[in-house]
């Protein structure tokens, strides 16, 4: 039971190590002006990379020894409920795809509906209305009060 789950934690530790290696590699690509050779822009990145590798190793040891307690190996914690999460992620994705084309208000209304669906909303038409009004209010709150240009869009251009 717990062996299968420990693999997940071992993978996390390996990811941290891999990130550290990536950081160190990328740091070697930073050109250092000779005048800064001693305390140049690479000292901190190297330290950060090395620290990630070291901490990743410690994490690996914790995962291996089973001393890393979190919800993954907590017998009482239930597994994450995937369906609602996927609805949320779908909402985020649709916003990303649409926002540049139809503007914040419509894209975010679409996201609102999908996220409301994720959290068990049944009357999606009502969620759409609530989301639209909220997006409109948020848009004008931000755009007008803070005088920020919020970009254009189908609804935004009507005003």
Q: Which of residues 71-90 bind other proteins (CB under 8 A)?
A: 71-72, 78, 80-82, 84-85, 87-89
Q: Please, is 107 exposed, middle or buried when counting C-beta atoms within 10 Å of its C-beta (0-12, 13-18, 19+)? A: buried
Give the whole-angstrom CA distance, residue 51 versus residue 60.
14
Give the whole-angstrom CA distance, residue 109 versus residue 129.
8
* The only residue of 5, 6, 12, 14 in contact with other proteins, by rule CB under 8 A: 12
Does position 119 interact with other proteins (CB under 8 A)? The reply is: yes
* The only residue of 1, 4, 125, 149 in contact with other proteins, by rule CB under 8 A: 149
Encoded one letter per residue, x for contact with other proteins by CB under 8 A and - for no contact, window 26-55 reads: xx--xxxx--x-xxxx-xxx--x--xx--x
Does position 70 interact with other proteins (CB under 8 A)? The reply is: yes
Task: Mention every residue, 6+ apart, whose C-beta is less than 8 A from residue 75.
Answer: none
Closer CB to other proteins, 138 or 155, in the complex: 138
Rounded least distance, CB 118 to other proteins, Å = 5
Does position 135 interact with other proteins (CB under 8 A)? The reply is: yes
Give the whole-angstrom CA distance, residue 134 versus residue 126.
12
Q: Which of residues 86-115 bind other proteins (CB under 8 A)?
A: 87-89, 91-92, 95-96, 99-100, 104, 108, 111-113, 115
Query: DSSP labels for 79-122?
Result: PP-HHHHHHHHHHHHHHHHHHHHH-HHHHHHHHHHHHHHHTT--
């Amino acid at each position: 039971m717990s062996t299968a789950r420990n693999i997940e934690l071992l993978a996390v530790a390996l990811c941290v190590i891999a990130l550290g290696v990536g950081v160190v590699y990328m740091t070697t690509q930073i050109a250092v002006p000779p005048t800064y050779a001693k305390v140049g822009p690479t000292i901190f990145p190297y330290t950060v990379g090395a620290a990630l590798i070291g901490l990743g190793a410690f994490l690996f040891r914790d995962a291996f020894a089973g001393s890393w307690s979190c919800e993954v190996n907590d017998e009482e914690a239930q597994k994450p409920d995937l369906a609602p999460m996927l609805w949320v992620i779908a909402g985020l994705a649709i916003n990303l795809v649409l926002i540049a084309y139809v503007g914040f208000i419509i894209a975010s209304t679409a996201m609102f509906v999908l996220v409301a669906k994720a959290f068990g909303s049944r009357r999606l038409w009502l969620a759409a209305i609530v989301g639209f009004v909220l997006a409109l209010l948020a848009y004008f709150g931000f755009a007008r009060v803070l005088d920020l240009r919020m970009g254009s869009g189908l609804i935004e251009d009507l005003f």
